[in-house]
A and B are shown apart, each in its own frame.
Chain A
Amino acid sequence: MVSHSPLPYNVQKIDELNYVFVTKHGILYHLYFMPLVGIYPSLPNTYSFNIEREGTLPHPIDRRIAATVVDVLRRFFQNIENAMIMVCDSTDGKQHRRRNLFDRWFQYYNDGTMAAINAEAGDSEYEILLSIYFKKTNPNKQQLMKAFGDLLAQDCYDIVF
């Protein structure tokens, strides 16, 4: 864990798994988790994590955004049974940028207690990047790894929009 971290922004909790914060540049970010139990019941306590911002204009680099995301994830993983899936798709051509950015944040956050599995699927026209994150002490980790493998085997087809 890096010391002298920038301060996270104040996060407003909309509900149990939905957060917003405003940056010093006035940009509003949404961080939300969607439970996957409805479509992947074999993935216990697993959520799709999403980071979205209002508007589309570019803005300067702001390290407090990463600190804020990390803060929210730290709280999320206080329940050691929680797992998180990130999906980056090539619809807007930013999938690698998103994953690389998130990988950097993850490395920054990871104090050695987290595990991650990365996967890629698609063809020359469409690409999808999937990652699953969980605590190494998650009592369901064997099941998570198997179910994530099943997801890749069963659902990484016909994903072109």
Chain B
Amino acid sequence: METKKPIPENRLKRLLQCKLELRECIQNGADPKEMKRIADYYGFTFATPV
């Protein structure tokens, strides 16, 4: 699935949009590559050390 939506300028909306796409991805079986692609698209990552 390709993300078509533009990245919002509003940072909170950007976070929400990413979260909603990840939710949909997880509900549909959570393909790790797709999850990573979504997070990367919005500028997030799962793998930042604490």
Which residues of chain A in 47-72 are interfacial with respect to chain B, using CB atoms and an 8 Å cutoff?
Answer: 48, 50, 52-56
Q: Using an 8 Å CB-CB cutoff, how does the interface string of B7-50 with A read, 1 for contact, 0 for none?
A: 00011111111111011001111101000000100011111111
- Place the interface of chain B in its size category: 20 to 34
Distance from B12 Cβ to chain A, minimum over Cβ atoms (Å): 4
* B12 A16 Cβ-Cβ under 8 A: no
Query: Which residues on the A side are within 8 Å of B19 (C-beta)?
Result: 48, 50, 87, 89
* A15 B47 Cβ-Cβ under 8 A: yes
The number of chain A residues with a CB under 8 A from chain B is: 39
Query: Which residues on the B side are within 8 Å of A87 (C-beta)?
Result: 12, 15-16, 19
* B11 A34 Cβ-Cβ under 8 A: no
Closest residue of B by beta carbon distance from A160: B13
A38-B44 in contact given A14-B32, A91-B20, A155-B12 (Cβ < 8 Å): yes
Top 10 nearest A-B pairs (CB, nearest first) are A155-B12, A52-B26, A39-B11, A18-B46, A35-B48, A34-B44, A15-B47, A38-B43, A52-B23, A159-B13
